[in-house]
Amino acid sequence: MCGIVGVVGHSPVNQAIFDALTVLQHRGQDAAGVMTCDDGRLYLRKNNGLVRDVIRTRHMLRLLGSMGIGHVRYPTAGSSNSAESQPFYVNSPFGISMAHNGNLTNARQLREELFRSDRRHINTDSDSEVLLNIFAHEIAKQGKLHVDADDAFAAVAGVHQRVRGAYAAVAMIIGYGIVAFRDPNGIRPLCYGRRETDDGVEYMVSSESVALDCLGFERVRDVAPGEAVFISADGKQLATRQCAEQPRYAPCIFEYVYFARPDSIIDDVLVHEARLRMGERLADKILRTWPDHDIDVVIPIPDTSRTAALQLAYALGVKYAEGFMKNRYIGRTFIMPGQKQRKKSVKQKLNPIPFEFIGKNVLLVDDSIVRGTTSGEIIRMAREAGARRVYFASAAPAVRYPNVYGIDMPAVEELIAAGRSEAQVAEAIGADRLVYQDLADLEEAVRVANPKLAHFDTSCFTGEYVTGDIDGAYLRRLETERNDQAKLQRDGEEDSVPELYNVS
């Protein structure tokens, strides 16, 4: 899960990209980068850290040009210190840079093909650099001295034939324009918009529509699964084409549960409304399976679960209260490496308001339960604040399998629900009772706004992977890369590695 943006304008785009990345900061807090193009030259600033810390005024002054792309990153299969920042760049052909959100499931095979067949060198362990080189090779295969929309679409079609996994990407070709494309399953989100200026129409592509809104762009639509969008460098041409042979909608349902901002529209579904319906479905389950409940108050775990918790409380006819104050300067604990750091961050991030807990039977609502670290700590805090009983509800089903499409869900052994029943998970996190959302209810909560969404990637709940290329060997290898011990080891090894691609 990362955030990407691309802008083609008629004046400098550095500020627009900076602002868009700041809006998308929730999608990645590990690294940030901006690359712009001006008069045939590229200008780059990227590093580990938040957008505001990586890109300062002195860097903005050097990011020249009316066309550019940007990226915010969270580590897909590594620790927060070892992520490769983006965008990446190759000089052949023409000079192409790329920002990518997702994860390629056949990256190892592609890396081998690039070396042996395509004669291309990969400088990092990032699958995003692999995707860039595949795209660049497919552009080169067109054999042209100039690039047009047809060449770009042919290259994307070649990418779809070779690449497996999840990818929403934006590529910038020096002197020609920006190409944005989405994998044939549409696992990761991507949309585009336009705005009228005195100098002409400007275009933006973004992971989420909220970035378009905040910068005054009118959302045109989502990029369809397998589709590509070409925007010429002068902004006079916008062309789209379906480049996949058998595209289908199978977006990651966790975008609606947790990752996306509630004010975003993804595949014609307003995330806020989807979360309201999640709360309604969860309330229906409680009334169906626990009609004599003794819940006094519903309290959300800020921020993502607020919408679902509010609607759940309304449907139950129970008081809704804000029981935790949040320190907004602590990052998302979901993506932090190591149990100790996560536990410490939970305590620093949330502080209970005893007035809302003392002597009450409390239903805490969260968007999901992954490791259980955060849930257990929050339940303990609720009891210490004076709650008589602490119940827990998850707006998502039990997470029992790793995600392979760009979400750093940990090794199976670190998932609290793996191999445990609902009652056993409740005992493990210290809850008096636990209620999970049913998968069918979750899917319907999203699908009701867009019936075209016949399928979703729900692999972390079911173990069924929409790309059909995931086997036990792949998951075992992933487990060795993603467990906490491996991340801590990489931290120690890579703290001293120079950032080969960074230009200050």
How many CA within 13 A on the CB side of residue 490?
Answer: 20
Q: What is the mean pLDDT of residues 147-163?
A: 98
- All residues at 6 or more sequence positions from 216 whose CB lies less than 8 Å from its CB, including other chains: 195
Q: Average pLDDT, stretch 27-55?
A: 96
More confident residue, 413 or 279: 279
* pTM score of the predicted model: 0.92
The residue to which tokens 């602590």 are assigned:
330
Beta strands in 286-423 (DSSP E): 297-300, 319-320, 324-326, 350-352, 361-366, 389-394
Q: Which residue's structure tokens are 């809006």?
A: 23
Looking at domain 270-327+348-466+472-488, which of 3.30.365.10, 3.90.320.10, 3.40.50.10680, 3.40.50.2020 is its CATH number?
Answer: 3.40.50.2020
What are the CB-based long-range contacts (under 8 Å, 24+) for 423-427?
Answer: 425/369, 425/372, 425/398, 426/392
The total of other beta-carbon atoms located within 10 Å of residue 483's CB is 16
Q: Which tens digit of pLDDT belongs to each residue from 62-102?
A: 999 999 999 999 876 544 444 489 999 999 999 999 999 99
As a whole number, the mean pLDDT across the chain is 91
Helix, strand and coil percent figures for the chain, each rounded to 5 = 35, 25, 40
Give me the residue spans of the domains in the chain: 3-248, 270-327+348-466+472-488
Residue 496: predicted pLDDT: 39
Mean per-residue pLDDT, 301-308: 94
User: What is the distance between the alpha carbons of residues 269 and 456, in angstroms, rounded to a whole number?
Assistant: 13
CATH code: domain 3-248 is: 3.60.20.10
Residue 339 in this model has a pLDDT that exceeds 90: no
The Cα-based distances of 46 to 105, 317, 377, 409 in angstroms read 25, 50, 35, 25
Q: How far is CA 99 from CA 46, 155, 209, 482, in A?
A: 12, 16, 17, 23
Q: Any long-range contacts for 462-470 (C-beta under 8 Å, 24+ apart)? A: 462/401, 463/400, 463/401, 465/105, 465/404, 466/185, 466/187, 466/250, 467/105, 467/164, 467/165, 467/166, 467/185, 467/405, 469/105, 469/106, 469/164, 470/105, 470/404
The pLDDT value recorded for residue 333 is 52
> To 10 degrees, what angle do helices 484-494 and 472-482 make?
50
CA-to-CA distance for 6 and 101, rounded, in angstroms? 13
Q: What is the mean pLDDT of residues 314-318?
A: 98
3-state secondary structure of 14: helix
Quick check: is 2 catalytic? yes
**495 has pLDDT over 50:** no
Q: What confidence tens digit (pLDDT) does each residue in 200-247 have?
A: 999 999 999 999 999 999 999 999 999 999 999 999 999 999 999 999
pLDDT (0 to 100) of residue 499: 36
Helices (H) then strands (E): counts for the chain:
17, 22
Burial 145-175 (b: 16+ CB within 10 A, else e): eebebebbbbbbbbbbebbbbbbbbbbbbbe
Average pLDDT on 17-34 reads: 96
Tokens coding 321:
């209260």
Task: Determine if residue 304 is labeled as part of a ligand binding site.
Answer: yes
Residue 252: partners with Cβ closer than 8 Å, 6 or more residues away: 166, 187, 188, 403, 405, 406, 407, 456, 457
Task: Read off the amino acid at residue 370.
Answer: V
> What is the token pair recorded at 244?
């996949």
Residue 389 has which token pair?
């009983």
b/e per residue 223-239 (b: at least 16 CB within 10 A) = bbbbbbbbbbbebeebe
Asked if residue 292 belongs to a known ligand binding site, the reply is no
d(CA 367, CA 394): 5
Task: Tell me whether residue 480 is annotated as binding.
Answer: no
Which of 2, 191, 243, 460 is an active site residue?
2
